[in-house]
Amino acid sequence: MDAGARVYEQAGSVYGCASGIGGSHRLGSSGFTLRGPRIEMARVAGRIAAYGMSSPGVDTGYATVEVRRLSDGRLLARRPATTTAGVEGFESVDAIVVRSDGAVAWIATARSIGSPRFVRQLQALDRRGLRLLDAGRALVPTSLRLRGSTLSWRHGASIRTAPLA
């Protein structure tokens, strides 16, 4: 939640709204369903929401990161959660941060029965485009932080940083 907007759950659906604007925009479902995507996590900055969207299936589940302006509901960006996923794999968005200009970064994990069996990546989408910032098992999903325009995260015992332009 932010002073300019909020994301909330009601009756199994997730909505976003901006202050001073009448009405809400449905973002997705909050519960597990094979019929449609569900919101895994959401963050708000200003009137912008960024969230992980999981689309589960019988043998495969994909995840995307979406960035939406809550004042009018316009989808600003949608990207796959990881750059690669194996056969019969499942992806999840583990952490996400967003700025009020729509710049976003996230950590996502993919697991599958085929190669590659495990992928964990940190990606950023900003004025510089989509960038893979880090990858590997030692990437700690709960460590992702954004202070101003600087991202920080842990990779094993080290702290790493990168600009979010």
> What residues have CB less than 8 Å from 99, skipping those under 6 apart?
45, 46, 48, 146, 149, 164
1 has pLDDT over 60: no
Dihedral of CA 106/112/118/119: which sign?
A: negative
Share of the chain above pLDDT 70, in %: 93
Sequence spans of domains, the chain: 5-163
CATH 2.40.128 fits 5-163, yes or no: yes
Contact indicator for 106, 123 with CB cutoff of 8 Å: yes
CA torsion sign for 106, 111, 112, 116 is: positive
pLDDT at 89: 81
Per-residue model confidence as pLDDT tens digits over 135-158: 999 999 999 999 999 999 999 999
Contacts of 77 (CB under 8 A, 6+ apart): 65, 66, 67, 102, 104, 125
> Rounded to two decimals, what is the model's pTM?
0.89
